[in-house]
């Protein structure tokens, strides 16, 4: 056996059988010869025996995030048997943590497919098993293999402002030749950069806002959920929050019963915070809102006079299932990821110049807050 020592056995009669033991999966070589009672020795024969007792293992790789309800899923398998191979796969999915495993593909030789059963605001778990050429079926794959289908529609603005609400007349537009928020063009632009940077008049007073109403899954459906977005603010005015809010970029979350949370108010508190404030990322754990129908509003404000302009580019607004739950990365005045901006504090107050005088009644078409 496999070039080892010879084993001999006496077999009576014209026909008989010999039991041979082998160790391990794979191809084994049996050399054999017989001698009859007259002492005639036959020419040695060779026999190849393939043994396959170990089933294959499968793994499945769905994309962790999808902003579409259809997305591609891939899987693969490996048979530890030398020379063995996977013949077919079974793939199952489970909708949300509250769902149950459902057959998707049975005995397929494919290793990828487009999943078309997705719905926004749900998480789809996947698992696969493989059967080898010897017919041995492996166990289901384990691990966190899921795709979260974003509740938010068109958060990358690839479809312009589709899915987003905005007030006609607000200075809101999508721009296709810019990636100023460090996203991927197109992005959305809130405000009017062409209205100037300094004491130039003619800046519309009020807010430019986009919003989207979405249903969030409940806490038992998903492990966690965060809001994330990229923005790039340029401001030539102070925010002066919380005493007298002036120019700012705001993120507000409204619940369905009248509650309103200002979860981000960014803006300049110092001279050095004025101007180009660079690309920033904002992330917020949405745990407190799970199960609710909420509206997410992003807005750029020129609250004070028609001078000292402020505008903000925004991109990649997403709800994501974080691998680890994140606290807010950026909040009002925080420096963020080494980007321009300064912490609020006593030193801040020393450097700050007196704010501009308040204005009279708002005569603009834009909303004020």
How far apart CA 53 and CA 22 sit, in angstroms, is: 12
Question: Shortest distance, CB of residue 178 to Ca ion, whole angstroms?
Answer: 10
Residue 231 tokens read as 């923005």
- Please state, in angstroms and as integers, the Cα–Cα distance from residue 193 to each residue in 183, 211, 308, 313, following that order: 18, 21, 11, 10
Q: Which is nearer to Ca ion, 123 or 203 (CB)?
A: 203
How far apart CA 369 and CA 352 sit, in angstroms, is: 23
Question: Shortest distance, CB of residue 156 to Ca ion, whole angstroms?
Answer: 4
User: 210, 65, 77: which is closest to 131 by C-alpha?
Assistant: 77
Question: Shortest distance, CB of residue 240 to Ca ion, whole angstroms?
Answer: 11
Name the site residues for Ca ion (rule: CB under 5 A): 52, 54, 79, 81, 84, 132, 156-157, 183-184, 237, 247, 302, 304, 308, 315
Q: Which is nearer to Ca ion, 45 or 355 (CB)?
A: 355
Whether omega for the bond prior to residue 224 falls within 30 degrees of 0, making it cis, is no
The residue sitting closest to Ca ion, measured at its beta carbon, is 81
Q: Which is nearer to Ca ion, 25 or 73 (CB)?
A: 25
Q: Which is nearer to Ca ion, 146 or 249 (CB)?
A: 249
Question: Shortest distance, CB of residue 25 to Ca ion, whole angstroms?
Answer: 6
Angle at 276 between CA 161 and CA 155, to 5 degrees: 20
Question: Shortest distance, CB of residue 38 to Ca ion, whole angstroms?
Answer: 44
Question: Shortest distance, CB of residue 86 to Ca ion, whole angstroms?
Answer: 9
Question: Shortest distance, CB of residue 30 to Ca ion, whole angstroms?
Answer: 20
User: Which residues are within 8 A (CB) of 159 and not within 5 positions of it... i.e. 6 or more apart?
Assistant: none
Q: Which is nearer to Ca ion, 73 or 298 (CB)?
A: 298
Q: Which is nearer to Ca ion, 123 or 332 (CB)?
A: 332
Q: Which is nearer to Ca ion, 122 or 304 (CB)?
A: 304
In the numeric block, the tokens 């497919």 are attached to: 113
Q: Are 190 and 298 in contact (CB under 8 A)?
A: yes
Residue 311 tokens read as 């505008």
Question: Shortest distance, CB of residue 215 to Ca ion, whole angstroms?
Answer: 24
Strand order in the sheet with 165-166: 165-166, 206-215, 293-302, 248-254, 260-266
Beta bridge partners of 281: 230
Q: Are 91 and 58 in contact (CB under 8 A)?
A: no
Q: Are 268 and 234 in contact (CB under 8 A)?
A: no
Q: Which is nearer to Ca ion, 221 or 302 (CB)?
A: 302
């Amino acid at each position: 056996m496999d070039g080892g020592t010879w084993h001999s056995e006496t077999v009576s009669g014209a026909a008989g059988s010999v039991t041979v033991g082998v160790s391990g999966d794979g191809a084994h070589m049996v050399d054999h010869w017989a001698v009859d009672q007259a002492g005639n020795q036959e020419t040695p024969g060779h026999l190849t025996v393939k043994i396959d007792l170990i089933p294959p293992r499968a793994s499945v790789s769905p994309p962790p995030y999808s902003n579409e309800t259809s997305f591609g899923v891939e899987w693969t398998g490996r048979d530890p048997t030398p020379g063995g191979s996977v013949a077919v796969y079974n793939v199952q999915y489970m909708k949300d943590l509250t769902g149950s495993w459902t057959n998707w593909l049975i005995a397929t030789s494919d290793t990828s497919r487009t999943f078309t059963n997705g719905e926004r605001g749900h998480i789809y778990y996947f698992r696969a098993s493989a059967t080898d050429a010897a017919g041995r079926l492996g166990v289901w794959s384990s691990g966190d293999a899921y795709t979260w289908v974003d509740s938010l529609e068109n958060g990358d603005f690839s479809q312009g402002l589709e899915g987003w609400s905005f007030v006609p007349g607000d200075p809101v537009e999508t721009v296709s030749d810019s990636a100023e928020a460090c996203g991927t063009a197109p992005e959305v632009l809130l405000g009017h950069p062409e209205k100037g940077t300094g004491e130039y008049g003619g800046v519309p007073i009020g807010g430019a806002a986009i919003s989207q109403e979405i249903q969030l899954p409940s806490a038992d459906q998903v492990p966690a959920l965060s809001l994330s977005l990229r923005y790039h603010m340029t401001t030539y005015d102070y925010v002066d929050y919380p005493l007298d809010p002036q120019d700012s970029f705001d993120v507000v979350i409204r619940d369905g019963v009248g509650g309103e949370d200002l979860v981000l108010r960014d803006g300049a508190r110092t001279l050095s915070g004025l101007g180009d404030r660079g690309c920033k990322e904002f992330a917020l754990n949405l745990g407190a809102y799970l199960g609710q129908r909420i509206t997410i509003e992003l807005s750029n404000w020129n609250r004070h006079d028609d001078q000292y302009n402020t505008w903000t580019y925004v991109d990649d607004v997403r709800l994501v299932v974080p691998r680890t739950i994140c606290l807010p990365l950026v909040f009002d005045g925080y420096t963020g990821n080494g980007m321009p901006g300064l912490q609020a504090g006593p030193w801040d107050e020393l450097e700050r110049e007196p704010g501009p005088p308040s204005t009279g009644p708002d005569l603009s078409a834009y909303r004020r807050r």
